[in-house]
Amino acid sequence: MMDWTDRHCRFFLRLLSRNVRLYTEMVTTGAILHGKAERLLAFDPAEHPIALQLGGSNPADLAACAKVGERFGYDEINLNVGCPSDRVQEGKFGACLMAEPDLVAACVRAMRESVYVPVTVKTRIGIDDKDSYEELVHFIGTVAGAGCDTFVIHARKAWLQGLSPKENRTKPPLRYDVVAGLKADFPALKFVLNGGITSLEQAEGHLKSFDGVMMGRAAYENPYLLAQVDTRIFGETGEIPSRAGILEAFKPYVEAELKRGHRLHSMTRHILGLFQGVRGGRIWRRYLSENATQPNAGIEVLDAALRAAEGVATADTLQREEK
């Protein structure tokens, strides 16, 4: 989710659900230690509960960055051992670390000794030809021994050579059964299932077997599906927020960020999918794409986009009633 789940995106998603745990995009240790931590890590208090996802392989650097993340107020520090991109491999972090369980354990141990918040690991079920169940069990057991009790498992192996990151999200077959095996073999650990989950119906089914589910691109591309999470998954009562109501709640944040010098497009690019799958969705996306990128675009663009989308939906309803 690099360049996707930034603070603007997360604030918007929090308006749809009070309870889902939000994750940052992966932030490298080098960026935090040698860059501007405030710009990279600052977030709105409304985003809680929120996890900081780190990329790195040096135990001391990861420990230092975990401590910084805890100081900023993150509820969880997550180590990415699942990203297969070439750039990530060159930095010796991400999925390639599955080949070095002792190093991952050292990283987890260093972070655990530096912070009080939970330290978790996001990983795959294997890489390249190192994809036997025995190797996966060895990896999980080794890392768990260093103090990690929660694993987010993308239920696909990763091919580090020959497939692009996009292909690695779709071509290797999903193996939910492998993650189920881990849950059975490590009953004291928590396993969060990731990969191929695109609806709340699927999520509800998987929650019967796993401790949690993670939804990435499905929630980003169709964020309104999160509007039912609090009632269907967390058992809360109350009305499900409307799309227009969510947009209205987002506007004060947008206005404040515009005053701080952020461009409208940096926020509206995350809400293009708000009307996904309903009448007016196409005009909503087109209007924002064409107008929010203008140099002086302001909050009025959101109002106009909503009127355009609702106008299409209303016209369609009237046509059906006339027929």
Say whether 83 is catalytic.
yes
Strand partners, 152: 122, 192
2 within 8 A of 25, measured Cβ to Cβ: yes
Strand partners, 51: 23, 76
Torsion of CA 142, 65, 117, 158, to 10 degrees: -40
145 within 8 A of 113, measured Cβ to Cβ: no
Token pair listed for 292:
């929010």
Q: Which alpha helices (H) appear in the chain, and where do they start and end?
A: 7-14, 29-34, 37-41, 59-72, 86-90, 101-112, 133-144, 165-168, 176-185, 200-206, 217-221, 229-232, 243-259, 265-268, 281-291, 300-322
The active-site residue, picked from 9, 65, 83, 96, is 83
- Please report where in the chains the tokens 């991400």 appear, as a residue: 94
103 within 8 A of 146, measured Cβ to Cβ: no
- d(CA 282, CA 249) in angstroms, rounded, equals 22
Residues carrying an active site annotation: 83
